[in-house]
Structure formats: structure tokens, C-alpha cells
Amino acid sequence: MLRGLGGRCPACGVGALHDGKGRIARACAACGEELYHHRAGYPALLIAGLLAAHAGGISELALHEVIDFPPRAIAGMLLAALVFAALVRPIKGMMVGLQWAWRLFGFQYAAMCRPHRPVTSRADTVDTPEEPRRAA
């Protein structure tokens, strides 16, 4: 989930989770893990919308108590829109990471079909084959 929060592949932590348009990539460019199995679209929007609505409402109430600023509702809606835009991608990434970790939806079939390989957190920690030893 932390890798997804940071926008990284949940399997390797190196490849980008999102493509250039803000959608989840079909597969990781670094390790090839299939990512299109996720079902994080609508739930991430709902969670981000819930959090953004709370942020907007709380800010509107806070503005009402502190200053006499007439367009409080507009300020609250603007803040809610900013919070929503900032939270959608990280929440979607966390949900993809959770679904990957729990092998939900198609991730379980992808895990069964791929050959077993150890999960490394960084690409530079992958072992390189040693040079053959020469007889002395």
C-alpha cells in the first residue's frame, strides 16, 4: 500500500503505477507485473470525494467562526476540489497495492501463472551473475 501511495508498482517498487494520463498502467514497465486487474477506480473516487467534502465543510465552518467572509461556500468548494485532486491518485495507488497484496480480483491468477521470483524493493539490489572462475 505504501508503494501504491507513492505511485510505484506494488510488486517491485520501481516502476510507475500510473501512466501519463493518471490511469493505472496495464503492466509495470520495470518488472512486467500485470496491473490491469485492479478494481480501484470508483472506490478511490468515493473515498477521495468523502475526504474532500469533509475538508471543504470543515473549512467552511472554520471560516464562519473566524472571519466574516461572505463567499465561504465557494472557498469551501474550492478547497474540496483541491483536496480531491490531490488525493485521487494516492488513494487509487493504495487500493491497487491492497488488492495486489491480498491477491484480489485477477491478481491471484496473475500470481499463480507467473514463475516464482523473489520480490526485490529496488532494481539495483538484483543479483548479477558472477564471472566464471578461472582455474589457477
Name the residues that contact Zn ion, by CB under 5 A: 9, 11-12, 15, 28, 30-31, 33
Name the residue nearer to Zn ion (CB basis): 7 or 49.
7
Name the residue nearer to Zn ion (CB basis): 11 or 55.
11
Tell me the closest approach of the beta carbon of residue 35 to Zn ion, in angstroms: 8
Tell me the closest approach of the beta carbon of residue 3 to Zn ion, in angstroms: 9
Name the residue nearer to Zn ion (CB basis): 33 or 60.
33
CA 54/CA 101 separation, integer angstroms: 29
Tell me the closest approach of the beta carbon of residue 88 to Zn ion, in angstroms: 21
